[in-house]
């Protein structure tokens, strides 16, 4: 802004700057907070892609759940483990289907674990269903009578070795999407992408772990 002085000379006077309103500051802070929160949540889903073997989150279909349940007797007892349990739908369905079976899920993504625990509370099966945030390769599976696998092809060989080495001799294995490379399935439900393979370790040779 230009102003004439008494001597006729021009002097320059800057207009006062307006400060940011409180509402604007709150909006910027809120936007930044939401952005950081979304980054943290998304990182939990993206991080597995940088692991040696990526186990992506792909929810089980209704058909897959029914195929899995067809191998679980309603009077089954003992313990079931879902490897890579995702949002927990297999664990919860098995708990509701059998009533007498303790069902567990192991999952690396913390947000899916929290969601699964909330779903168990909502369905009233918190005493029967549990979820653990662990690395599946370090998780102890020696006490489980049933193991459900939603894996990827690259992991099935190593996972087969772990199952044979650690599971009890009478463990039943239910593999979805991809079969185990060496074990012979007792039964198969052929259903395209929803195909399920059922294995009984009690009827398998324990020396498969040494196969290439």
**pLDDT greater than 70 at residue 197:** yes
Q: What is the CA radius of gyration of the chain?
A: 28
What's the pLDDT band for 58 if we cut at 50, 70, 90?
confident
Model pLDDT for residues 111-166, shown as the tens digit of each residue: 999 999 999 999 999 999 999 999 999 999 999 999 999 888 899 999 999 999 99
Q: Find tokens 């597995």 and name the residue.
A: 48
pLDDT of residue 203: 81
pLDDT of residue 49: 40
**pLDDT greater than 60 at residue 171:** yes
Model pLDDT for residues 78-123, shown as the tens digit of each residue: 999 999 999 999 999 999 999 899 999 999 999 999 999 999 999 9
Nearest to 120 by CA among 156, 74, 87, 145: 87
Cα(48)–Cα(73) distance, rounded to whole angstroms? 34
Q: Find tokens 């894996």 and name the residue.
A: 151
pLDDT of residue 15: 53
What's the pLDDT band for 207 if we cut at 50, 70, 90?
very low
Cα(169)–Cα(145) distance, rounded to whole angstroms? 9
> Cα torsion at 197, 202, 205, 208 (round to 10°)?
50
Q: What is the pTM of this model?
A: 0.73
Cα(41)–Cα(170) distance, rounded to whole angstroms? 39
pLDDT of residue 16: 56
Where is 132: in which H helix or E strand?
A: strand 129-133
Q: How many CA atoms lie within 13 A of 36 on its CB side?
A: 6
Mean pLDDT value of segment 48-58: 56
Structure tokens at 151: 């894996």
pLDDT of residue 39: 43
Q: Find tokens 């073997």 and name the residue.
A: 53
What's the pLDDT band for 50 if we cut at 50, 70, 90?
very low
């Amino acid at each position: 802004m230009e102003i004439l002085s008494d001597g006729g000379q021009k002097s320059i006077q800057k207009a006062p700057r307006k400060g940011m309103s409180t509402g604007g500051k709150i909006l910027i802070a809120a936007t930044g907070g939401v952005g950081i929160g979304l980054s943290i949540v998304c990182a939990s889903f993206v991080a597995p892609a940088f692991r040696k073997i990526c186990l992506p989150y792909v929810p089980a279909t209704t058909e897959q759940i029914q195929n899995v349940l067809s191998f679980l007797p309603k009077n089954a007892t003992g313990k079931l483990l879902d490897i890579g349990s995702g949002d927990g739908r297999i664990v919860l369905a098995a708990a509701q289907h059998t009533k007498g079976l303790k069902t567990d899920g192991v999952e690396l993504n913390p947000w899916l674990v929290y969601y699964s625990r909330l779903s168990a509370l909502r369905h009233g099966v918190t005493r029967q269903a549990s979820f653990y945030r662990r690395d599946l390769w370090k998780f102890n599976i020696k006490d489980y009578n049933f193991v459900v696998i939603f894996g990827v092809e690259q992991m099935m060989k190593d996972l087969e070795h772990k199952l044979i080495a650690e599971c009890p001799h009478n463990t039943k294995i239910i593999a979805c999407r991809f079969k185990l490379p060496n074990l012979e399935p007792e039964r198969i439900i052929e259903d395209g992408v929803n195909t399920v393979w059922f294995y009984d370790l009690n009827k398998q040779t324990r020396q498969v772990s040494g196969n290439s």
